[in-house]
Amino acid sequence: MELNKLVRKKIRELNSYSTARDEEGERISIYLDANENPFENGVNRYPDPKQSDLKKIISSIYNVPVKNIFAGNGSDEAIDLLYRVFCEPKSDNVLSISPTYGMYKVAAQINDVEFREILLEDDFSMNPEKMLTAADSNTKLIFVCSPNNPTGNIIDENSIIKIANNFDGIVVIDEAYCEFSRKPGFVGKIGSHPNIVVLRTLSKAWGMAGLRIGFAIADERITTFLSSVKYPYNIGSDTLSLAMKYLKRSPVSKIEKIISERKRVSAQLENLIDVEKVFPSDANFILVKFKDSSSIYKKLAENGISVRDRSNQPKCDNCLRLTIGLPEENNKLLNVLSGQNRNKDINEARRAFIERRTKETYVSLKMEFDGNSLSSIHTNLPFFDHMLEQLAFHSGVSMTLNVDGDIEVDDHHTIEDSAIVIGEAISQALGEKKGITRYGFMLPMDDCMAQAAIDLGGRAFLNWDVKFARDSIGGMSTEMFQHFFYSLAIASKSTIYISAKGDNDHHKAESIFKAFARALKMAIKQDENNFEIPTTKGLL
């Protein structure tokens, strides 16, 4: 591959912007080069322009040298830079399969480059001969998304290799969804095929869409050109820090759950009368052909479900793209499509979504009072997860809670902020509180005697009569149980009384959560014949 002939003359001759820190490296300890504010607050300094530490982690994950990695502000930055490096505006052209990810075409329009679309076959496979025939001496890039978006299928490996072996330009393989396919992809082939650029992202399988980080993995000469064209500090310091933190946590279990849900949802969709075809998928979404996609789209939107209408794409008539969500979200989708869901307005639904971000934690919670009591709890404190799962199950409340906290310091902030968010969600889901029972009381459970009483009337107070013999249970400090319920009482504006006795501290803690959950279940129950707020003296 004669790379210099492919790269634009102006890019070859570019005197790219360079920072002093690029030039001097790690020996600098006093920074007087970038006109920064010298007073430390955590973000007063510019981030590493080379993203060296992040690339080292990516290098170990994908088993490629750091020199072969370009880190960008999402894969979209890499796509745009590939145009700017290789495509001369108004004269060069780019090929892409169709239907596929829309940003390839948008980037072509922005960079004033001709965009040629080659239709996939009826089974969404790619014909390599058609791609190669459509290329000419001015074709610089060929984009292949695999698994493809929106069709969900893997593009045949031999077809891609045939194009790479017979094309004088750059073959860009977008593998944003590769982790859901059980196929290795092309990262391991860049050594033998220097004209291949592989795009990967942290947005999908790694669950970091909000951070906007993507990678181009390619021949060192290509990543060097991409780095010379990018803006100096294209990824922020907080973003880099969070990405490196989350990359330490394997996404394998969550990927497996998504794949399992993909199979389950696909199988159930195939039995619905409004569905004509469910296309096979190797991604975290499913393309579904309906008899009337517009009416289905409207029906889902009316029930608070957002999906992607792809019916305007080639070969996708009446098709909607459905992302695989959490089990309870998928159940809601299936219930709406099967006609089993009773449409509720937002007040009747009694649900809440709360996010809380502090210096120490990030907490997100979806709660639904009248759900199916399914829970998905991830606080990185296993015993605490177990307690909250008991709370969800015994209260009949659906909870999806995800917490990233400073548990390497201790468990305090994770537990406290979880309690605050749960309390706020209870308050939000209650709405005007009309029709609820308001009061709840629970008697002993298991081998321990636990009692819990609750009043959702709006007065925040906790009475706690529990003693533990041990300092911790399952790695969780026992003093945090009282603090959890105190924080929950304050955040939910509830009066809570809890007492418990017993010899086994583990059972005692579990019985407290179960008792509270049962009391909560009683208190949030709605009386179909009563639309007021009960008090000890009657109704308000």
pLDDT of residue 4: 83
Burial class for 455, CB neighbours closer than 10 Å (0-12, 13-18, 19+): buried
Question: Is 90 exceeded by the pLDDT of residue 193?
Answer: yes
Question: Is 50 exceeded by the pLDDT of residue 227?
Answer: yes
* DSSP run (H or E) holding 388: helix 382-395
538-539 and 308-309 strand pairing? unpaired
pLDDT of residue 535: 58
Lowest-confidence pick of 83-92, 137-146, 242-251:
242-251
| Residue with more model confidence, 16 or 421 | 421
pLDDT of residue 329: 87
pLDDT of residue 533: 63
Residue 345 — pLDDT band, cuts 50, 70, 90? Answer: very low
Tell me if 170 sits within 8 A of 126, measured CB to CB.
no
How many Å apart are CA 45 and CA 509, to the nearest integer? 46
User: Residue 10 CB: number of other CB atoms within 10 A?
Assistant: 9
pLDDT of residue 373: 61
Architecture of domain 347-524: 2-Layer Sandwich (3.30)
Assess if CATH 3.40.640.10 describes domain 3-246.
yes
pLDDT of residue 530: 54
Domain 252-342 is classified in which CATH homologous superfamily?
Aspartate Aminotransferase, domain 1 (3.90.1150.10)
pLDDT of residue 531: 52
pLDDT of residue 488: 96
Tokens standing for 108? 């072509």
How many Å apart are CA 533 and CA 180, to the nearest integer? 49
| Residue with more model confidence, 504 or 349 | 504
Tell me if 1 sits within 8 A of 195, measured CB to CB.
yes
Lowest-confidence pick of 87-96, 123-132, 145-154, 502-511:
502-511
How many Å apart are CA 150 and CA 278, to the nearest integer? 12
DSSP string, 469-513: SSSEETTEETHHHHHHHHHHHHHHT-EEEEEEE-S-HHHHHHHHH
pLDDT of residue 538: 45
Instruction: Indicate the average pLDDT of the chain.
Output: 91
Question: Is 80 exceeded by the pLDDT of residue 344?
Answer: no
Q: What is the pTM for the complete model shown?
A: 0.72
pLDDT of residue 441: 82
- Give residue limits of the domains in the chain: 3-246, 252-342, 347-524
pLDDT of residue 526: 76
Interval 379-406 mean pLDDT: 91
Residue-wise pLDDT tens digits, 70-122 = 999 999 999 999 999 999 999 999 999 999 999 999 999 999 999 999 999 99
Question: Is 80 exceeded by the pLDDT of residue 349?
Answer: no
Question: Is 60 exceeded by the pLDDT of residue 529?
Answer: no
Same fold, 252-342 and 347-524: no
pLDDT of residue 540: 43
Interval 24-42 mean pLDDT: 83
Question: Is 60 exceeded by the pLDDT of residue 483?
Answer: yes
> How wide is the angle at C-alpha 344 spanned by C-alphas 340 and 345, nearest 5°?
155
Tell me if 148 sits within 8 A of 97, measured CB to CB.
yes
Interval 423-427 mean pLDDT: 93
φ and ψ of 37, to 5 deg: -75, 125
Tell me if 418 sits within 8 A of 388, measured CB to CB.
yes
Residue 537 — pLDDT band, cuts 50, 70, 90? Answer: very low
Sheet containing strand 308-309, edge to edge, reads 275-278, 285-290, 319-323, 308-309
pLDDT of residue 370: 75
